[in-house]
Structure 1
């Protein structure tokens, strides 16, 4: 399950502490995702970085906690919990919905401290101003599960386990509702470079909607097109790690842990 930074902060997971003084990477999970999904990334970066992963309420050991009902509520709570642990200039990484959480937490960090992250890395996510409401939250359980499985966000065998479904679908449904209801503030920007990772077979994100992240930073944007679908980081883990290392300026290891 991982470790807390201390015994009182359920929002933070540190699976593989990195070297003292190393760059800090903070990961924000996707809709329905939990911190443990990023354990392999944490292990792979542990030689060069201290990786913190946010654990949202409603999943794993926080299953009994009520989930935030809006992006503002989620970002406010995440930033409040992370704030004491953030380094001077952390790197934020978010995949899918997690990219928007990372973006909003970065904005809160800037307002609160006057500092921005060193870099914002957003993966498989349309720019805040280009997001559309697909109405997935209104689908019945079978339809929603089909959408999730089409994206590759869950194991195909989960459909045969009703008890597991009862745990997963309510969490997913709430996260989807939070993501779909999100609307960026007019002129919402961060003051740090943004690296966009765009899977070339993602049915939800296009080149145009990915490029539009340029409108949400004052410090420049790069877009990297990678092989794979929406969850390319699970189907092409070595390729994902290669791009993360390049973005972070970290030399490849002789043998990768992911």
Structure 2
């Protein structure tokens, strides 16, 4: 019986539309940048990046259940089950060079997905970019997702990345609390089932003024790769999303050359 690859399977492509937001479609994209948001966030956290990537680089922002137009869907609080559902969507769009980028809890998901794509589909990202979270070997045993409601919201506010008007509205937080707790549980308890290191370059980005994640925590990501690793410790706090994008944009030309893809002139700034 003939088999259908993820890139041509209609069901996988339909799944990709639900999971992956591409603000500026690029039919002949030379590289795709898959971005995995932090706890409580959706694809909108990355959409401003679409116009700031180099020419030929297509932004693919991941939209998890429990937020934005998937607000009525139950969030995943188990890493393996989440990646089970997400894997076909990303595999369907991995028909050209790609990079995985995660911010905070999104980094945990990006790591597991990188293993899955390599082991099950023979697809390796040109790089894995992680930010503002400790490497798995130094992951905190603190269970923030189990804190009482008031203490939980206070801790969430300290991390940043969620508008204060949202955190201060009890009705909105009633809706988002299950999603936030699920995301924090994945960040705190989610572990990869793969013992072999990734043969993929890893770039760890973090802020020197981050009270939660230090240089040693970021350096622990080096244990996850058998190839090159670097830490970018920036003059910032915990929420380094824009700075992470700047580091990625600076590194993309090298990834394109490594993938054997011809560079193009940069697209005009918006």
Q: Shorter-normalised TM-score: what interval?
A: 0.7 to 0.9
Structure 1 residues 46 and 65, CA gap change in structure 2 (3 angstroms)? farther
- Please, which of 100, 106, 111 is the counterpart of residue 114 of structure 2? 106
- Please, which of 82, 94, 100 is the counterpart of residue 92 of structure 1? 100
Q: Which residue of 2 aligns with 1:136?
A: 144
Q: Is the 8 A contact 2:197 2:223 kept in 1?
A: yes
Q: Is the 8 A contact 2:34 2:101 kept in 1?
A: yes
Q: Which residue of 1 aligns with 2:257?
A: none
Structure 1 residues 166 and 24, CA gap change in structure 2 (3 angstroms)? same
Structure 1 residues 196 and 159, CA gap change in structure 2 (3 angstroms)? closer
- Please, which of 68, 92, 95 is the counterpart of residue 76 of structure 2? 68
Where does 1:1-258 land on structure 2 (aligned, <5 Å)?
9-18=17-26, 20-45=28-53, 47-185=55-193, 187-233=195-241, 237=242, 239-249=243-253, 256-257=269-270
TM-score by length of 2: 0.84
Q: In structure 2, how many angstroms separate the alpha carbons of the residues matched to 1:18 and 1:55?
A: 19
SS at match of 1:79: helix
Deviation at 1:160, TM superposition (A): 3.3
Deviation at 1:95, TM superposition (A): 0.5
Higher relative contact order (CA closer than 8 Å, sequence separation 6+)? 2
Stretches of structure 2 that go unaligned for 5 or more consecutive residues are: 1-11, 255-263
Structure 1 residues 182 and 188, CA gap change in structure 2 (3 angstroms)? farther
Over aligned residue pairs, what C-alpha RMSD do you find?
Answer: 2.3
Q: Is the 8 A contact 2:131 2:240 kept in 1?
A: no
Q: In structure 2, how many angstroms separate the alpha carbons of the residues matched to 1:160 and 1:207?
A: 32
Q: Is the 8 A contact 1:19 1:47 kept in 2?
A: no
Q: Is the 8 A contact 2:30 2:96 kept in 1?
A: no
Greater mean alpha carbon deviation, residues 221-230 or residues 83-92: 83-92
Structure 1 residues 47 and 245, CA gap change in structure 2 (3 angstroms)? same
SS at match of 1:219: coil
Structure 1 residues 107 and 249, CA gap change in structure 2 (3 angstroms)? same
Q: In structure 1, how many angstroms separate the alpha carbons of the residues matched to 2:150 and 2:51?
A: 35
Stretches of structure 1 that go unaligned for 5 or more consecutive residues are: none
SS at match of 1:146: helix
Q: How many residues align?
A: 249
